[in-house]
Amino acid sequence: MLSRVAESIYWMTRYIERAENVARFVDVNLNLMLDFPGSSDQQWQPLVDITGDTEDFKERYGEASQASVIRFLTFDGENPNSILSCLRASRENARTVREVISREMWEQVNKFYLMVTAAAASERAMVSPHDFFSDVRLASQLFAGVTDATLSRNEGWHFRQLGELLERADQTTRILDVKCFFLLASEVRGEGAHDDIQWSAVLRSELAYASVEDIFRAGLHEFLDGLQVRLNLVGDAIFDTFFALRPLQKVAAGPRGSFP
């Protein structure tokens, strides 16, 4: 398989997965706001922080609010990690490898992108955010199902799996980070006793191979941040190994024109 084809399949899937997970942690935040009476707009800032786009957001939006953060993470075409930007990039990658992916995959990516662009024009996410983000998650899951059913189990399949699972691991740490912020904020405000059930759920998520001592020694936020750094290193290694362009090296000719 050509490296450009493998890279397009890898990023097509990563961007779909990223769009779903952005929708998921924004929706998680909306639900958590209902659980914490008196929540303020300041509690939307962590969603921007965990994407790594804080400076860009502050430069163009200023103070974080529910409306500005949802717009930035959902429909902002200048934010490369917004749902709209992710789907635009996924669709473009799918377009370049239409001869490799199935017709059903292409149709679902296209429908997904058109749904989000229509929602951007109608301000649907601002009016009924829960319904919109639920539809985003469903469209992503439909893509995963169509892919499982129609894509041949060859090299392209493996690069698809690689992109999906690496992105899912990275975004899961970000969702946990949001949950961690709200649990700690609740304790600091003295709004109730330590919620053992919620903390246990957080510590059980995606942390099966870490010891509790290691997590608390570093701090949960710091632990998750370190995990994100290691996942980024894995992504860099995948690029260097499979996708990076390398100059052709000439092989010296041996006697009588034979090659060593």
Which residues form the domain of 64? 3-245
Single pTM value for the model: 0.81
Average pLDDT over residues 104-111: 97
254: in domain: no
- The residues, ordered by sequence, that sit 6+ positions from 170 with a Cβ below 8 Å of its Cβ are 228, 231, 232
For tokens 């301000």, the residue is 123
* Overall size of the chain counted in residues: 260
Angle, helix 66-74 to helix 54-61, in steps of 10 degrees: 120
- pLDDT tens sequence across 189-246: 444 444 555 555 555 557 556 676 777 777 777 888 888 899 999 999 999 999 987 6
The verdict on residue 259 lying in a domain is: no
Asked whether residue 260 is domain-assigned, the answer is no
Task: Catalogue the long-range contacts made by 82-85 (C-beta closer than 8 Å, 24 or more residues apart).
Answer: 82/22, 83/19, 83/22, 83/23, 83/116, 83/136, 84/116, 84/117, 84/120
Is residue 208, in this structure, part of any structural domain at all? yes
- Per-residue confidence at 100, pLDDT binned at 50, 70, 90? very high
Residue with the larger pLDDT of the pair 198 and 82? 82
Whether 95 maps to a domain, the answer reads: yes
Flag whether pLDDT at 82 surpasses 90.
yes
Q: What region does 62 belong to: left with phi over 0, alpha with psi -120 to 50, or beta?
A: left
Q: Is 233 exposed, middle or buried (0-12, 13-18, 19+ CB in 10 A)?
A: exposed
Number of domains in the chain: 1
Which tokens sit at 116? 């989000």
Which pLDDT score is estimated for 201? 54
Cβ atoms of residues 170 and 51 within 8 Å: no
Instruction: Give mean pLDDT, residues 152-163.
Output: 94
252 in a structural domain: no
